[in-house]
Structure 1
């Protein structure tokens, strides 16, 4: 099934036909097929050329890539014990195959031969970028090492692949294993009616009386933000903060230490000072010192504001409830109360204006106004779960642009958080522009028996954020799959997603979709003003929190660290960003999936880095009009469609006419 193109509408993944037993044989088959395609390049008697070596390599292994994207996407969004076992079985095979290519001396010599004559080949800028990427793909993955070091590299990569999977499995298991069963209605004081209703439905699904709260965000956040019962907030916050940091089979501390040590060993094998030096060579930032300077400069600007805000919040809690010390489980609760007092605004007031379906249609309308896209829901392609919605995306001339999947609600087999991914990339082969299949996966508040899914404002911005990534994937228009869509430097990839969030604060955009789910009334202008006013509320504290994650990431990866005790190491690394008293039983690192399971190691700073880009880019939209078609087209043609075909700063300057200035971010955050 996986070795040929799928015989389905748009060649969409035939989810209903795939059995779990199919995966391992399919991986074995497609790896063998990819191996044969690479062998044909290696044994080609003709002299190496761009076409017979670089392009041939780029388009090899397509069936394997397609299978991998389907399997690993489902392992994140719809997993079970069997899938996790399969992942543990196939990951080492994929790593070994990747290494067989990266460490093949004959293949590298062919690539190198083409690379050495690049000046004389009259290649297009995109072809040059591909050649550069392929050459670095070898040199950065051990092609220049001797045999002994190559073998050690293989061992490290195999171990890392397994450890990262186990890390994620442990976090998911810890998230799923905890729930708080409440039978006394008094304990629910302060918790919004919608969240209570969801908790009752959850209890019912477990055949329990009363209410159940879990560590999934849509369940956890309303409790930690609104529950008047401080002990209850404390219990949930402690459970959340000690995920994978408990004395049980899911503890990640030793796994984390091994991941860090192996990453450093790998970097040093390849001739780099640290894992961060290795990673950042392929980022806009280029060097760990640049990142540290960037984070510490922002910290210097944000910390005084954060300390003032923390003092204000502490004084408010003292005055309101006689609290002597503000603890971590008090932060969200009193922030919400203070926000209500200052702006007379809270999520419960706003949620009725943000039914999920309306917000989604709003994102579609923004994309239509800026980029000429239309979205049509279809039922002609398979879904991997009944909750998934599928759309055909068309352009201004009604041409087919992309297939779009949206998966919004939490369930047992889905990892926490929100992300964008793809089931098939965009590329041009044999004169055919193959269009992408893009997906966003979130964990939003589900509908209840009496209400549709109503989003918090934070969930609204999350949807727009992931949709921004999706647009980057959908509007891709490059020749080569490895340069297409979101295949860009990681500190550039957040620009399209973060810039989209800005429309959520604009009255002109909100008028399109923020309509009361019962009355149809458009969100009152007074609420819109308050959303804008409150956008920079406690922004100093929020910025310092983000910077703490970036600094922690760099502490693990920018030098070879000695980690005897993960907790002590974390406390030392984040000391300058600490506002709340430390909680001994809690530790961020063992559940910091972004850097230990996902691709953000040495890259967590890129959220803030991209905020500088997005604030500067949106300032341009504001200057010309937030639905200015000309600026939208410039953004589409210079950034969204170009993928990784040119250096990010070149693309940005083509769009903006200048390099980004951090002033726009500081102004927006109220930190100037």
Structure 2
């Protein structure tokens, strides 16, 4: 119920805005990112603590912060249980959730990203402590009763606004999935299943990333040096999918995916316990439970979407695989059978050959500072929002190269803060992601609690003479993650429990994927893409080629994602008396098209099964929604302010406080069907003939 998820939001009233403008000094956002951070050191300046939280000026402060939150929690529980049912009940629940999340969300970030082990350890302990409290709250019968009394009183319920009613229902749903409505014996069983699943999730996640070993002599001598050594063994920790050598790709695939008996048992237990828990709390399957409140709503709808997409793509997918076979025959006539380890490499070769999209040709035009100025210009024109670089105070950031951005609306003032942890450093997680540190919510005094987020990338540091230069993929990832951040900043929810990205998984990715469309449009890119040395603009035909290159083998790429999504659904559907490997083999044959390789177990590397159980399809559905919105609302003019305002009002403002399909409907002014979603993904693959005209003229 009070599990702290992603979130964020908004602005303050005029007086606060004016005061803020009087005391804050900003610098141009591009300048702040194209040079190394320069800090002024003042021995007399006070350490304000991480993110300006005074207690966190040292690792020991986590214990102080958590104890403060737990003490506040006790008071709020008492308040929620004793007050008469009404809107104040929901407000008390949200304040209780907010109090815990302010510590848990911050600690969740610090435990993986802070360079100081002492801070990481302290944050880990805080997470465990808050997690234990959350588990107790989720099984607090008296607390649940106060909410149930509200939801059972139709007269009072009728007086609540839709968002308050929705949030009350979401809190109750979280209680129910913890089994609180069950008798004592079943409730204990539900708690035990939750505990077992926490352990199994951790075990599977760790195991899915461990390398496999094989004796040196088992591999041909000429490819051994492509892998790392561990004594007399070769250690393989990935698929080496981009290697031009067929044999290296094949060896890595067969060895890395060789089944681990212990991990197989772990996965089968994990799936069985998830199903038991779902059925115990009243759902037909884990997938039925996981999809409640999403755009798709049911596993049946998801499978219909995946099957229809497969049918519509079948001819194109077959042609893509045929192109790959022809290319493999050209590269290696002795081994022309197309195998799963060939797909990523050969599709890349075909893209490069057809469109000449060597990243080094593009990166001089994509300095980090230029890209940030591009985002700034886009948000300013589309949403009336600017990004302002601000100097962090001592102790506020965890690394000297972290940049702080204030997000400011032209009439509403300060909306929130984005901390940009963009540069590579040792021990930093190699992933691009968005973390919530504090969620937006309406406070009792009428002000708005400003949201705070972190965006984490892994970019090279600028040098003395050269700014950080981004490949096209890095630039697109930057736009993607900034889409999450702006979703967090631009919300208008009353409750932090549903603010910003704290919404259905198949809706949460829509704003970020939509940003990828903006990043591929020349009218947007031309505003910022300049050669960092000459100032020359990026030629339009290069942007067009880059965009068209993504369509090469696009059907096969989508079909691979369909296979993963279908496997995830089947694993989390009704139990089957077959091994996970047998299910994998059958699903691969039905939804992919390339043969299953005997003695492999790809599912053991499918780490998304932990965080995205029964919801992996969300990537495809979110892309379909984003595609429809782009074509209908922004393709004609990507800088249309009126459409940008509608986008904020209808989609970004509500977080998870409104049914996701209703937000999409509000934006499109019609309710899309599953067929519409499928058609959007298929239409994306159609070639743009203007590109070929430009190429022939250049």
Q: Which TM-score band applies after superposition, normalised by the shorter structure? A: 0.7 to 0.9
Write the deviation string for residues 423-464 of structure 1: whole angstroms up to 9, x where unpaired.
000001121111100122234466679864433322222221
CA distance in 2, matches of 1:161, 1:31: 22
Aligned positions of 1:106-185 closer than 5 A: 106-120=142-156, 121-171=158-208, 174=211
**TM-score normalized by structure 1?**
0.83
Aligned positions of 1:479-558 closer than 5 A: 479-558=494-573
CA distance in 2, matches of 1:533, 1:153: 51
CA distance in 1, matches of 2:318, 2:108: 42
Aligned residue number for residue 95 of structure 2: 59
Deviation at residue 370 of structure 1 after TM alignment: 0.9
Contact 1:621 1:627 in 2 (8 A): no
Contact 2:476 2:516 in 1 (8 A): yes
Contact 2:178 2:191 in 1 (8 A): no
Aligned residue number for residue 612 of structure 1: 624
> Aligned pair in 2 of structure 1 residues 112, 63: CA closer, same or farther (>3 Å)?
closer
Deviation at residue 157 of structure 1 after TM alignment: 1.7
Deviation at residue 161 of structure 1 after TM alignment: 2.6
CA distance in 1, matches of 2:292, 2:303: 15
Equivalent of residue 459 in structure 1, options 469, 474, 498: 474
Paired positions, count: 623
Deviates more, 1:326-335 or 1:255-264: 326-335
Tell me, what secondary structure is at the counterpart of 1:60? helix
Alignment pair present for 1:49 and 2:86? yes
Deviation at residue 605 of structure 1 after TM alignment: 0.8
Alignment pair present for 1:69 and 2:105? yes
Equivalent of residue 664 in structure 1, options 676, 680, 687: 680
**TM-score normalized by structure 2?**
0.80
Aligned residue number for residue 402 of structure 1: 416
Aligned residue number for residue 384 of structure 1: 398
Contact 2:107 2:126 in 1 (8 A): no
Tell me, what secondary structure is at the counterpart of 2:526? helix
Deviation at residue 158 of structure 1 after TM alignment: 2.2
Deviation at residue 146 of structure 1 after TM alignment: 0.4
Aligned positions of 1:77-476 closer than 5 A: 77-78=113-114, 93-120=129-156, 121-171=158-208, 174=211, 224-225=241-242, 227-234=243-250, 252-322=263-333, 323-381=335-393, 382-397=396-411, 399-411=413-425, 413-430=427-444, 431-444=446-459, 452-476=467-491
Deviation at residue 571 of structure 1 after TM alignment: 2.4
Aligned positions of 1:5-20 closer than 5 A: 8=48, 12-13=52-53, 17-19=57-59
Alignment pair present for 1:631 and 2:646? no
CA distance in 1, matches of 2:210, 2:532: 36
> Aligned pair in 2 of structure 1 residues 170, 413: CA closer, same or farther (>3 Å)?
farther
Contact 2:49 2:58 in 1 (8 A): no
> Aligned pair in 2 of structure 1 residues 78, 252: CA closer, same or farther (>3 Å)?
farther
Deviation at residue 400 of structure 1 after TM alignment: 0.9
> Aligned pair in 2 of structure 1 residues 562, 38: CA closer, same or farther (>3 Å)?
farther
CA distance in 2, matches of 1:76, 1:557: 29
Write the deviation string for residues 531-556 of structure 1: whole angstroms up to 9, x where unpaired.
23223111111110111111111021
Tell me, what secondary structure is at the counterpart of 1:393? strand
CA distance in 1, matches of 2:108, 2:205: 12
Deviates more, 1:389-398 or 1:569-578: 569-578
Write the deviation string for residues 117-173 of structure 1: whole angstroms up to 9, x where unpaired.
244452222222222222333233322100111111112222223333344444566
CA distance in 2, matches of 1:168, 1:389: 31
> Aligned pair in 2 of structure 1 residues 25, 170: CA closer, same or farther (>3 Å)?
farther
Deviation at residue 298 of structure 1 after TM alignment: 0.5
CA distance in 2, matches of 1:621, 1:167: 42
CA distance in 2, matches of 1:607, 1:127: 29
Deviation at residue 308 of structure 1 after TM alignment: 1.1
Aligned residue number for residue 25 of structure 2: none
> Aligned pair in 2 of structure 1 residues 385, 171: CA closer, same or farther (>3 Å)?
farther
Deviates more, 1:463-472 or 1:78-87: 78-87
Deviation at residue 83 of structure 1 after TM alignment: 7.7
> Aligned pair in 2 of structure 1 residues 505, 214: CA closer, same or farther (>3 Å)?
farther
Tell me, what secondary structure is at the counterpart of 2:505? coil
Deviates more, 1:471-480 or 1:513-522: 513-522
Contact 1:37 1:61 in 2 (8 A): no
Deviation at residue 658 of structure 1 after TM alignment: 0.9
Write the deviation string for residues 470-510 of structure 1: whole angstroms up to 9, x where unpaired.
11101111111112111222211111111111012211111
Contact 1:31 1:61 in 2 (8 A): no
Tell me, what secondary structure is at the counterpart of 1:574? helix
Deviates more, 1:365-374 or 1:509-518: 509-518
Tell me, what secondary structure is at the counterpart of 2:506? coil
Contact 2:58 2:119 in 1 (8 A): no
Deviation at residue 283 of structure 1 after TM alignment: 1.4
CA distance in 2, matches of 1:448, 1:254: 49
CA distance in 1, matches of 2:400, 2:578: 45
Contact 1:468 1:498 in 2 (8 A): yes
Deviates more, 1:294-303 or 1:230-239: 230-239
CA distance in 2, matches of 1:505, 1:88: 39
Deviates more, 1:370-379 or 1:570-579: 570-579
Unaligned runs of 5+ in 1: 1-5, 181-185, 192-198, 204-212
The root-mean-square deviation of aligned C-alpha atoms, in Å, is 3.6
Deviation at residue 268 of structure 1 after TM alignment: 0.9
Alignment pair present for 1:591 and 2:591? no
CA distance in 1, matches of 2:236, 2:475: 21
Tell me, what secondary structure is at the counterpart of 1:523? coil
> Aligned pair in 2 of structure 1 residues 138, 332: CA closer, same or farther (>3 Å)?
closer
> Aligned pair in 2 of structure 1 residues 432, 104: CA closer, same or farther (>3 Å)?
same
> Aligned pair in 2 of structure 1 residues 362, 11: CA closer, same or farther (>3 Å)?
same
CA distance in 2, matches of 1:414, 1:169: 17
Tell me, what secondary structure is at the counterpart of 2:507? coil
Contact 1:498 1:614 in 2 (8 A): yes
Deviation at residue 233 of structure 1 after TM alignment: 4.7
Deviates more, 1:288-297 or 1:408-417: 408-417
Contact 1:514 1:522 in 2 (8 A): yes
CA distance in 2, matches of 1:447, 1:239: 38
> Aligned pair in 2 of structure 1 residues 81, 239: CA closer, same or farther (>3 Å)?
farther
Deviation at residue 358 of structure 1 after TM alignment: 2.3
Equivalent of residue 35 in structure 1, options 66, 71, 74: 74
